[in-house]
Amino acid sequence: MLLGRVAGTLVSSRKDPSIEGLKLLLVRTLDLDGAETGQSIVAMDAVGAGVDEVVLLAQGSSARQTEVTRDRPCDAVVMAIVDSWEVGGEERFHKYRAAGGEA
Amino acid sequence: MLLGRVAGTLVSSRKDPSIEGLKLLLVRTLDLDGAETGQSIVAMDAVGAGVDEVVLLAQGSSARQTEVTRDRPCDAVVMAIVDSWEVGGEERFHKYRAAGGEA
Amino acid sequence: MLLGRVAGTLVSSRKDPSIEGLKLLLVRTLDLDGAETGQSIVAMDAVGAGVDEVVLLAQGSSARQTEVTRDRPCDAVVMAIVDSWEVGGEERFHKYRAAGGEA
Amino acid sequence: MLLGRVAGTLVSSRKDPSIEGLKLLLVRTLDLDGAETGQSIVAMDAVGAGVDEVVLLAQGSSARQTEVTRDRPCDAVVMAIVDSWEVGGEERFHKYRAAGGEA
Amino acid sequence: MLLGRVAGTLVSSRKDPSIEGLKLLLVRTLDLDGAETGQSIVAMDAVGAGVDEVVLLAQGSSARQTEVTRDRPCDAVVMAIVDSWEVGGEERFHKYRAAGGEA
Domain presence at residue E49: yes
> What's the CA gap between C81 and C59, in Å, rounded?
16
Q: Which helix (H) or strand (E) holds D90?
A: strand D90-94
Q: Are D34 and D93 in contact (CB under 8 A)?
A: yes
Q: Is residue A67 part of a domain?
A: yes
Distance from CA of C78 to the nearest CA of B (A): 9
Exposure string over B78-99, b if 16+ CB within 10 A, otherwise e: bbbbbbbbbbeeeebbbbeeee
Among E2, E32, E53, E96, which would you mutate to test the C interface (most chain C Cβ atoms within 10 Å of its Cβ)? E32
Q: Is A15 helix (H, G, I), strand (E, B) or coil?
A: strand
**Residue D102 pLDDT level (bands cut at 50, 70, 90):** very low
CA dihedral E62, E67, E72, E76 (to 10 degrees): -40
Structural domains counted in chain B: 1
Distance from CA of D17 to the nearest CA of E (A): 23
CB E14 within 8 A of CB D47: yes
Map residue E74 onto helix, strand or coil: coil
Tell me what the mean pLDDT of segment A80-99 comes to: 92
Q: Cα–chain-centroid distance for residue E31?
A: 14
Tell me what pLDDT residue B97 has: 84
* DSSP string for residues in B10-44: EE-SEE-GGGTT--EEEEEEE-TTS-EEEEEEEEE
| The predicted structure's pLDDT at residue A49 | 98
Residue C72 has pLDDT above 60, yes or no: yes
Q: What is the pLDDT of residue A97?
A: 84
What pLDDT is stored for residue B99 in this prediction?
52
Phi, psi of C35, rounded to the nearest 5 degrees = -85, 150
Q: What is the mean pLDDT of chain A?
A: 94
Best mutation target, D56, D67, D94, to test chain E (most E CBs within 10 A) = D56
Any domain includes B103:
no
What are A39-64's pLDDT values in tens digits? Answer: 999 999 999 999 999 999 999 999 99
In a domain, B55, yes or no: yes
Q: What is the dihedral of CA A22, A23, A27, A33, to 10 degrees?
A: -90
Q: Taking residues D4-25, what's their average pLDDT?
A: 96
**What's the pTM?**
0.94
User: What is the CATH classification number for the domain harbouring B59?
Assistant: 2.40.50.220
Q: Which strand (E) or helix (H) includes residue D21?
A: none
Q: Give me the residues of chain B with pLDDT under 70, please.
A: 98-103
pLDDT at D101: 43
Q: Is C60 helix (H, G, I), strand (E, B) or coil?
A: helix
Cross-chain CB nearest to B18 (options C2, C60, C65): C65
Range of the domain at E29: 2-97
In this complex, do E1 and C51 lie within 8 Å of one another by their Cβ atoms? no
Residues 17-76 of C with CB under 8 A from E: 17-19, 24, 26, 28, 40-44, 51, 60-61, 63-64, 71-76
**Cβ count near B38 (within 10 Å):** 9
- Out of D11, D14, D61, whose CB is closest to A47? D14
Looking at residue B46, its amino acid is A
Distance CA B26, CA B10 (A): 7
Q: Is residue E59 part of a domain?
A: yes
Q: How far apart are CA D74 and CA D60, in angstroms?
A: 8
CB D56 within 8 A of CB D3: yes
Mutate which: D72, D78, D82, vs E, most E CBs within 10 A:
D82
In this model, does residue A9 exceed pLDDT 70?
yes
Per-residue pLDDT of C14-66, as tens digits, reads 999 999 999 999 999 999 999 999 999 999 999 999 999 999 999 999 999 99
**Residues of chain E where predicted confidence (pLDDT) is lower than 50:** 100-103
